[in-house]
Structure 1
Amino acid sequence: MKKVVFINLLIILIFTLAACNTSEGEINSAGAVSGSKEGTKLFVKGVGNVDVLDSHGGIEGLERMRSFYDNMQNAVPSGLRIVHYTIEGAPIVTDLKYNGESLEVKYDSTRDAFGSGEITTNRCGNMVEEVNPTNTSYIAIDCKNGPYGMEEILGIRYNMSQQDLFEFELKYGGNKESEINTKTNTVKKESNVNGFDLPASVKQEVYKRLVFANYLDEKDLETTCESKEEKSYYLKVYINGGERELSWSACDQSLDGTKLTKIAEYIIEQSETKHSENQEMTVQGYVLQVKDNTLLIGEDLNRLDYEWLKDEIDQIDLDAYIFDFIILEGANLEEFKVGDKIKASIEGNITGAKPGRGEVKDIKKLEVY
């Protein structure tokens, strides 16, 4: 239950932060400077050599996390320092050291006046990257300590449906004469204005890419180019009760500029694609129960979430969790067991909530690790 309360508090904080902007170079209450340049260490007051910074869901340095993970998969010795901020703004430091065979995880909470104030070390065998439609987790496994021999190192969450509002307006072209606007459901090209409606799956993908680009952080972007033929972009994101505006040019080859250009081009490509009016609905998650000719699925859980839930599922109130739960009918129960990770397409729509209920059209097991 402690995990449920923590997750709910985290979601509330993310909503609040999404509605706010900070000035370039401003130091926030936790002591971090936004807008850090690629290739340099991130600044956190009182902590040196920071590679990855998780400020209540806004994450800088994800490329370094991915690089460290890739090094581990290729048995390349590496190190990484991650800082997570507590709700009160204290930095919690996680140091990772991989020697080519095993992973050392050192957790330092001595700067947290409200925590244990300890330094603990855990030895783990490996790390997995678990990618779900609404979250990605880096989890240390085969650990000597910790619940279920696992420890979540970093979680990136990008569930658009948990936002009260997510829409965007993209203007682009030499003079930003073209526009794609999901708030008004219109597309303007060559002075022609047409109606359109992007599928929720496309908007979810845009939201995911924006989160990975840490779009709420201040960006130092190029807005002018030597060549006037270069395309310019203006992106306005409406998120909950706030807005975020970004302007840049295609000639901006910085990490931030490159990411944003790819996002803009993805939006343009999708606006020109003919989407089916009846998008196939899919669900993905772990099997928590097999009974009464149905499967109970916890949607978008990672392996550690599943372990937390599996032994409590008969006693818990599903409404107490931020996760979605689906009862699937029509699956061949002989092929599945508790703990399997599955992906299923649904016949028609899912009805009800917590748990919802759907008829399986097609279902398959997914490899976890």
Structure 2
Amino acid sequence: MPGSVKERALRYGMVTLVWLLAAVVLAGCFLTENVKGKLSHKINEQQDVVYYNGTGLLNLNKLDEFLERKAGSQRIIQYTIEGDPLFMELRYEGDKLSVTYDNTEDAFGSKEISMYTCSTLERKEESTELKYTLTGCEGEYPEAELLRVHYGLSEQADFGFVLQYGVNRRNEINTLEQRLVKDLQDGRTVEASDFRLPHAKLQSIYRELVLAGYMQDKTLTEACNRKPAVTYALLVEMNGNERNFAWSECDQSADGKVMTALAQSIISEVQESELYQALPETKGYYE
């Protein structure tokens, strides 16, 4: 089921997308040239990296795949505060990166299409942010930030989640009510007392949520032709707002795969804890 959106734009400030030419071409920092042909303005939400101002990021993994294969092209689209799209395309041409920037749909922009060349795209991850930087660029400034993703948990006023999973969702990880429930798969469940996750694990889980684009609507399904089937329900609360998702292991859509990977990451974080490992082992199994 799609997540309900209650967030206010700009409330979170989790992702800052710095568009190289939007900032520096006007200041004359880069040697650029206008080009006649514009980029396609049809957005592919399955392939393009898309940043919706204030409400999250789609398909960040596509940028990682582009960086690793060092071939082909990748588009990045940012929406301005006013809701206008800005288009950028990175394309490998031999051992160089050709960068095309198109702001012709920006009501407050210069309405130009510009092109320049850089040598590499670098990815650097720190404890609370992930940064992509173009290096070896032509012009006065050889290095410029392309994309910065923030996931510092300490920057948020409050954060909590509830993940229910398994057959009939009998397992539960609940940081809002400090509940940890394990399904023993023999008709019984067992609950840990005084369940709390340390800040380091909460930070790690928050990072996974941000990189999965949890603030965007997801097209998910709970339908499944397997018996029994593993299903998931995830509630995330942040700064007084909430997101809800529900899906099954059978959902092999792009969104379904992302959410299942996210759930498995959260489960792994919790199952590594001493509190979880102290719970009784599973007694039975589902047929």
State the TM-score, normalized to the length of structure 2.
0.74
Instruction: State the alpha-carbon separation in 2 of the partners of residues 238 and 249 from structure 1.
Output: 21
Instruction: State the alpha-carbon separation in 1 of the partners of residues 158 and 215 from structure 2.
Output: 15
**Aligned residue runs from structure 1 range 153-302, under 5 A:** 153-189=146-182, 190-194=188-192, 195-274=194-273
Structure-1 residue corresponding to 2:11: 15
Check if 1:101 corresponds to 2:95.
Answer: yes
- Letter aligned with residue 241 of structure 2: G
More strand by share: 1
Structure-2 residue corresponding to 1:129: 123
Instruction: State the alpha-carbon separation in 2 of the partners of residues 145 and 158 from structure 1.
Output: 32
Instruction: State the alpha-carbon separation in 2 of the partners of residues 171 and 134 from structure 1.
Output: 27
Check if 1:143 corresponds to 2:137.
Answer: yes
State the TM-score, normalized to the length of structure 1.
0.58
Deviation at 1:16, TM superposition (A): 5.8
Structure-1 residue corresponding to 2:75: 81
Structure-1 residue corresponding to 2:52: 55
Deviation at 1:205, TM superposition (A): 1.5
Q: Unaligned 5+ residue runs, structure 1? A: 1-11, 19-45, 277-369
Higher RCO, Cα 8 Å, sep 6+: 2
Instruction: State the alpha-carbon separation in 2 of the partners of residues 209 and 55 from structure 1.
Output: 18
CA contact (8 A) 1:236 1:246 kept: yes
* CA distances 1:40-94 after superposition (whole Å, capped 9, x unpaired): xxxxxx812552211125111223212211122xxx3x12221111111111111
Structure-1 residue corresponding to 2:86: 92
* CA distances 1:88-145 after superposition (whole Å, capped 9, x unpaired): 1111111212112111112222222223333322211111111112221221101013
Deviation at 1:275, TM superposition (A): 5.1
Q: Unaligned 5+ residue runs, structure 2? A: 1-7, 15-39, 183-187, 276-287
Deviating 4+ runs (over 4 angstroms): none
Q: Tell me, what secondary structure is at the counterpart of 2:42?
A: strand
CA contact (8 A) 1:138 1:152 kept: yes
Query: Alignment length, in residue pairs?
Result: 233
Aligned-residue Cα RMSD (Å) equals 2.3
**Aligned residue runs from structure 1 range 311-350, under 5 A:** none
